[in-house]
């Protein structure tokens, strides 16, 4: 599992690791084990108690909340709830700055995968700007507010 706030490299990490990105848009967190392979998710910070009970290895990406929210605002997607950042801090696992995905990737790879770090492939991938475009259809501000409301969080703009 790679877990971080939105706009913290999770889409890039999913591509790098061959993981599913943001599965909580389509599934409840209790159903994530139905997926094969790993996940890279911006929503699991809302469920630290569940994440900590899960046996998967975890990397928690940290980015300054003001930078996350500035990036979200540029996409007209409101702000990330503070509960996400609080939840990330409670998750047990390897905590790293989000920039380590590009600057210090090998320890992340070895923690999650254990072997076979391909420096050449990583060097190539880090030149690619990988972003999900589902903000256009799945992650509209209204859909974000509705989705978070389902789990009892109020999202403000």
Q: What is the pLDDT of residues 58-99, one digit of tens each?
A: 999 999 999 999 998 888 878 888 999 999 999 999 999 999
- Predicted pLDDT at 157: 38
**Strand ranges across the sheet with 94-97:** 20-21, 39-41, 2-4, 59-62, 94-97
Cα angle: 2, vertex 144, 136; to 5 degrees: 85
Q: Which residues of the chain have pLDDT under 50?
A: 136-137, 155-157
Question: How far apart (Å, rounded) are the C-alpha atoms in residues 51 and 135?
Answer: 25
- Predicted pLDDT at 133: 60
> What is the end-to-end Cα distance of the chain in Å, rounded?
29
- Predicted pLDDT at 155: 45
**Pair 19, 9: CB distance under 8 Å:** no
- Predicted pLDDT at 75: 81
- Predicted pLDDT at 36: 82
């Amino acid at each position: 599992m790679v877990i971080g706030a939105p706009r913290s490299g999770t889409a890039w990490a999913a591509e790098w690791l061959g993981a599913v990105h943001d599965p909580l848009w389509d599934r409840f967190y209790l159903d994530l084990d139905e997926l094969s392979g790993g996940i890279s998710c911006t929503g699991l910070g809302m469920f630290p108690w569940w994440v900590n009970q899960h046996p998967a290895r975890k990397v928690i990406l940290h980015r300054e909340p003001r930078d996350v929210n500035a990036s979200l605002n540029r996409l007209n997607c409101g702000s990330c709830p503070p509960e996400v950042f609080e939840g990330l801090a409670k998750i047990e696992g390897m905590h790293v700055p989000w920039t380590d995905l590009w600057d210090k990737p090998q320890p992340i790879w070895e923690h999650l995968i254990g072997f076979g770090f391909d420096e050449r492939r990583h060097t190539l991938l880090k030149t690619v700007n990988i972003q999900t475009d589902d903000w256009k259809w799945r992650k509209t501000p209204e859909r974000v507010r509705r989705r978070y409301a389902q789990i009892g969080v109020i999202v403000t703009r």
